[in-house]
Amino acid sequence: MTRLSAFIESIGLLGPGLPDWPRAADMLVGRTPYAHAPAELPPPAGLPAVERRRTGPVIKLALAVGHEAVANSGRDAATLATVFASSGGDGQNCHAICETLASEDRKLSPTRFHNSVHNAPAGYWSIATHAMAPSNVLCAHDGSFAAGLLDSLCQVAIDAAPVLLIAYDSEYPEPLRAVRPVSDSFAVALVLAPEASPRTLARIDVGLTDAPATALANTELEALRRGNPAARVLPLLEALATQRACSVALDYLPDTRLHVDVVLPDAGGVFSNAAP
């Protein structure tokens, strides 16, 4: 595989005990202790009142990190191509639909059905931001974040334009949880650009590897990484938070991981072509 590169301009993050990227970065580098707590999902910004009332937790999760990343990038959300990645969409909505279909009254709410489609968050995002740029929505089980990152990097390389990647997953209620034990709610958003800018945090150079996925030293954060497909991004976020050039391996396919080199600029703001 040809290695793919892009510059990370900004990050959005929301998860259990991780309310946003700045505070999550402090926890990832150990400046503040990590304390697990249910993710607090804010009302989805930018939506008309009628649409806002129809949103479920996954849509709130995806829009929250998307808005944070775009705000930190200084870009216009309406102009950004997007990639949405999730292993299973809205598990709670799926559970409610299954309950309805298993009951005597099998009339399904139109809103429930509307929110069950895998591209629902992308649709709400386009309404909230008036985005007309292309949008891809994909799923790759536990490798969904990695698949979304590869898709985004390909677009950056081919179109020479920035891309917003939003990866998200939420927990399933029982009995679905017994066969798909996704823990908590977690989402991350990255604005990826083809060229460096004053806002650039790092460059990433990405290829494939058969090395094992990078684990986190913090046992609670490692449990989150293993328990939520979107949280497979945490080793990369830890490297970005510590502002160190390094390499990490992220879960992708059963026998294949993503090898990600994190490259930082030198004192003059120039990025080396050499991997760390």
- Half-sphere exposure of residue 275, counting CA atoms within 13 Å on the CB side? 12
Number of Cβ atoms within 10 Å of the Cβ of 150 = 21
So what's the pLDDT on residue 54? 87
- Closest to 194 (Cα-Cα) out of 2, 6, 4: 6
Percent of the chain surpassing pLDDT 70: 97
First to last CA, the chain: 19
Mean pLDDT confidence for 204-226:
97
Q: Which CATH number fits domain 4-263: 3.40.47.10, 3.40.50.300, 3.20.20.370, 3.30.465.10?
A: 3.40.47.10
Cis check: omega of the bond before 175, within 30 degrees of 0: yes
pLDDT category at 67 given cuts 50, 70, 90 is: very high
Token pair, residue 35, equals 């304390």
So what's the pLDDT on residue 275? 57
Q: Is the pLDDT of residue 208 over 90?
A: yes
Q: Is the pLDDT of residue 116 over 80?
A: yes
So what's the pLDDT on residue 165? 98
CA 59 – CA 84 distance, rounded (Å): 11
pTM of this prediction? 0.94
Q: Is the pLDDT of residue 82 over 80?
A: yes
Domain residue ranges of the chain, discontinuous segments joined by +: 4-263
pLDDT digits (tens, 9 = 90+) for 86-112: 998 888 888 888 888 888 888 888 888
Outline where the chain has alpha helix (H). Answer: 21-28, 49-54, 57-73, 91-101, 110-116, 120-129, 144-159, 176-179, 219-227, 234-242
pLDDT category at 60 given cuts 50, 70, 90 is: very high
Q: Is the pLDDT of residue 8 over 90?
A: yes
Q: Is the pLDDT of residue 144 over 70?
A: yes
233: exposed, middle or buried (C-beta count within 10 Å: 0-12, 13-18, 19+)?
buried
pLDDT category at 228 given cuts 50, 70, 90 is: very high
Residues 223, 206 contacting (CB under 8 angstroms): no
Q: Is the pLDDT of residue 118 over 80?
A: yes
So what's the pLDDT on residue 267? 65
So what's the pLDDT on residue 271? 79
Residues 6, 205 contacting (CB under 8 angstroms): no
Residues 115, 62 contacting (CB under 8 angstroms): no
Q: Is the pLDDT of residue 1 over 80?
A: no
User: Which of the residue ranges 71-75, 80-84, 109-113, 166-170 would you say has the lowest mean pLDDT?
Assistant: 109-113
CA 75 – CA 66 distance, rounded (Å): 12
Token pair, residue 92, equals 């709670």
